[in-house]
Amino acid sequence: MFTLAAAHIVGLAAASGAVGVIGIILAIIAISVAAQAKRKARRRRPPEVSSAEELHELLRKDIQELQTQINQLQSDLTDTQGLLHRKVNAPAIMRFNAFGDIGSDLSFSVAFVDDTKTGLVLSSIYGREESRTYAKPVLEGESRYPLTEEELEVLTGGPKQADAGRRRRPVGTP
């Protein structure tokens, strides 16, 4: 029974030592946070100036620095807007029945183009015996390869009225 009580005392001593170490660590962290807050508060204080000329010069330098930052932000904004025009918009997709007498809408065309209609058109033609997939580069709405009506439709975003007899529908419609 004496050894059991001694074991409890050793356990309590170890636990209180751990609590003491944790307390010291927390105290160090609190002192560090307080020192950082004090440094930040000192930075926010207006500097001591002895004359209106010194204040004017100090304000002129601050305004010049802010103007430099504004110019940099405007340049960054212009660069970002340029990048946005070159990004691929939401891909346009159209499913269609390539052969009116067999199958259903298993063929498709997808346009991956930016605001200037530059990118590529991907088409897959499904048949009973084989399927073929084509990728055609597009530069400003034109391709050096002939584009099908479906490819032109997904590229321009509107249906072509040349072949109204063919059953075509956008993805997601019954």
89-143 pLDDT per residue, tens: 788 889 988 877 666 788 899 999 988 888 999 999 888 788 899 999 999 888 9
Q: Which residues contact 87 (CB under 8 A, 6 or more apart)?
A: 114
Is residue 56 scored above 50 in pLDDT?
yes
Share of the chain above pLDDT 70, in %: 74
Indicate the range of 5-14, 124-133, 162-171 predicted with least confidence. Answer: 162-171
Give yes or no for residue 161 having a pLDDT over 90.
no
Non-local (6+) Cβ contacts of 103 within 8 A are 97, 126, 127, 128
pLDDT value of position 15: 64
Question: What pLDDT score was predicted for residue 13?
Answer: 61
Q: What pLDDT is stored for residue 105 in this prediction?
A: 84
Residue 120: how many other CB atoms lie within 10 Å: 17
Helix, strand, coil proportions of the chain in percent (round to 5)?
50, 20, 30
Token pair, residue 105, equals: 């809408």
Q: Three-class SS of residue 106?
A: coil
8 Å CB contact between 61 and 47: no
Interval 160-173 mean pLDDT = 43
Question: 100 or 144: whose pLDDT is higher?
Answer: 144
- Which comes out higher in pLDDT, residue 123 or 160? 123
Where does the pLDDT of residue 50 fall: very low under 50, low under 70, confident under 90, or very high at 90 and above? confident
3-state secondary structure of 147: coil
Region label for 141, one of left (φ > 0), alpha (ψ between -120 and 50) or beta (otherwise): left
Q: Average of pLDDT values for 72-95? A: 84
**Residue 25 has what pLDDT?**
87
DSSP 3-state assignment of 118?
coil
